[in-house]
Amino acid sequence: MTKQILCITYRNWALKLYKMLADALPQYNFKIIFKTGRYGIDADEIETFQPDIILWYGWSWIVPAPILKQYDCICLHPSSLPQYRGGSPLQNQILNGERNSAVTIFKMSDGLDEGDIIRQIPMSLSGNIEDIFSR
């Protein structure tokens, strides 16, 4: 049976990444929830998709505990966690003079940008913020 991967965001740049993943991994069934406003999400909305995995990127709210308990929730965060947890990690790294960072892929837990790290992929912080987001 094909794994169902639900991708959730409200940011256009994250939507681009999800579409790239879907194209690169045709063996999985990707579905995307693109929120048109800055609103949270609830379990009922997710349940309609029956996902095996939920992928979060470009999300600014704490995910409700029932969702974290019911589903495998994976997050992509643009910093070398545990450094630069929370909002605006790229902007804060640039302001602090960081030249290199990573995208951290981790299994989400109840804490803010906390959980078991699956992988950290090195990332350059050269160029402007649009250059970085496009990588």
| Tens-place pLDDT, residues 19-43 | 999 999 999 999 999 888 767 788 8
State the pTM of this model: 0.88
Domain range summary for the chain, segments of one domain joined by +: 4-134
74 - beta bridge partners? 55, 107
Structure tokens at 125: 């912080």
pLDDT in tens, 67-96: 999 999 999 999 999 999 998 999 999 999
Superfamily of domain 4-134: Formyl transferase, N-terminal domain (3.40.50.170)
